[in-house]
Amino acid sequence: MVAITRATLARQLSSSITTRTVVSSGVRKKYTKNKKKTVKQRTSSSTISPPLQPYNEIAGKSNVIAANGYDRYGNPTGREYDLGRDGAFMGFHILIAQFYFDSPFNDAAMQLPIDELKSKGFQVTHVKTEDACITELASNHYQIAWIISTSQIRNSKFISALTAFHSAGGAIFLFADNTPYVCHASEFLRKKFGITLEGNYYGGKIMTYKENGHQQIGNFGEHEIFTGITNLFEGITICHPVYSTPASREVFVTIATASDDNSSIAVYDPPPTSTEGRLCLDCGFTKLYVNWDSAGTARYILNASCWLSGIEKRLM
């Protein structure tokens, strides 16, 4: 397949579709204790046909009543409860840079999320070295990069390459775990926001959905990433962000708080005037390796990747 750049993809998506209706994200809002969640419907003179609608009707709703079925964790079963529709992300490319791997088991485990991403239409490339990642990032071929941190940055050019990718509109899913397996995510966030990652908290608990519960211990609040999820595994060994300024805490927004009362999932949605891509930070990457079948993990990872694509913005 011929490589599709981020700019070309945006033009193709907007020109090939005559009508569209998408659910607008409330991401850039500042979460407050008394603020109610609303799902806005954004329309224009054009709407896309139902098969190309990128998000399911349930988009943005965690607490699903009267679902067709529920799993043992209380989350609704069925792909119609995911954020993104199957096949809706054709033409989007994800680069997975897996720098942490301590056994062949991790390679086999990574195939599970790769297969699930493909079901949504994503094309996936999987690399394991910083050199290969830098080369791929510079290709202008990818809209999203997963960065799975390890204990050391070996190529001094890596952070600048990742920063350039993000500044040009590339979205990034940052995965970290306990110290010292935080280096890539922490160094990028330090240069971007003045935020570092540290900690080695043994979690293993399940976070629960609570309206406006983003910063409450053991809870997550309203966000498209948590569509169809009322219970979510927090990870086993977990780090947390350390904010250098109040401003950094405001711009990089916590959307889930682990059982140690620290931020465990946070997002950045750039302002409309910015050329940057979206960001999502996960502080417990054991979800990918040994806990894929735990509460809400698979849906959360897929939802986050769909949200990072910014597909609703590209269709505007």
- Distance from C-alpha of 186 to C-alpha of 195, rounded to nearest angstrom: 7
First to last CA, the chain: 26
Q: Which of 25-34, 125-134, 175-184 has the lowest mean pLDDT?
A: 25-34
Q: Give per-residue pLDDT as tens, 288-305.
A: 878 899 999 999 999 999
Which of the given ranges, 49-63, 90-104, 155-169, has the highest pLDDT on average?
Answer: 155-169
Amino acid at 77: T
**Mean pLDDT taken over the chain:** 85
**Which residue segments constitute the domains of the chain, with CATH numbers given?**
6-23+38-314 (3.40.50.880)
Residue whose C-alpha is closest to residue 281's, from 219, 313, 238:
238
pLDDT band at 104 (very low <50, low <70, confident <90, very high): low
On the question of pLDDT at 227 being above 80, the answer is yes
Looking at the DSSP assignment, which residues form a beta bridge with residue 43? 21
User: pTM for this one?
Assistant: 0.84
pLDDT band at 10 (very low <50, low <70, confident <90, very high): very low
Over the Cα atoms of the chain, what is R_g? 18
Q: Give per-residue pLDDT as tens, 52-82.
A: 689 999 999 999 999 999 999 999 999 999 9
Q: Give the pLDDT score at 105.
A: 57
On the question of pLDDT at 271 being above 70, the answer is yes
The helix or strand, by DSSP H or E, that contains position 23, with its residue range, turns out to be: strand 21-24
DSSP codes joined into one string, 25-39: P-TTSPP-TTPPP--
Q: How many CA atoms lie within 13 A of 80 on its CB side?
A: 7
